[in-house]
Amino acid sequence: MENNNQQQYVQLVVEPEFEITTTQPWRVRRIADGFMPTINQRDDEYMQVRLNQHMYQLHRLVALQFIPNDDPEHKTQTDHRSKDRTDNSLVNLRWVTPSQNCLNRDQIYLEDIDDETGYHFIHAKDINGKVHKIYYTKFKRFVGLI
């Protein structure tokens, strides 16, 4: 008989040899031996976990597991409604199109200032999905006193 204080687990859809808790705090464990991989926070505040040599963002795992997607062909991204990347609660996550996801981003992410150079830049993905900085050449912010 299972203790009522223990969290319930369900098998992960994307990595069937692992399971995830059905409620927060989210935990992932390997079914075979109970190994629990560490969930880390990246510099950009997203939570991530490595399963079978593949790195997954926690919010994406949670969405794939628990949030129905009414249009998987177009709604390919998972959005944090509150813009808080550390809040991976079910009520804060939703499936969106890439353009919808851009509308909910903070302006600081869309346009930022490089602390070393003082130049403005935006983040953009290439056709392989790699993120690059694109710098504006006519704008520069001077930091500090001369």
Contact 63, 76 (CB under 8 A): no
For position 14, what pLDDT does the model report?
95
- The domain segmentation of the chain, as residue ranges, is 107-146
For position 2, what pLDDT does the model report?
44
User: Which of 121, 120, 100, 27 has the alpha carbon at shortest distance from 65?
Assistant: 27
Q: Provide Rg for the chain, Cα atoms.
A: 19
Q: What is the model's pTM? A: 0.68
Contact 95, 81 (CB under 8 A): no
For position 82, what pLDDT does the model report?
85
24: DSSP letter: S
User: Which of 4, 37, 3 has the alpha carbon at shortest distance from 20?
Assistant: 37
Dist CA 68 CA 65 (whole Å): 8
Q: What is the pLDDT of residues 59-101, one digit of tens each?
A: 999 999 999 999 999 999 999 988 888 999 999 999 999 888 8
Q: What is the largest CA-CA distance in the chain?
A: 70
Ranges of residues in the chain with a pLDDT under 70 are 1-5, 105-116, 118-120, 136-146
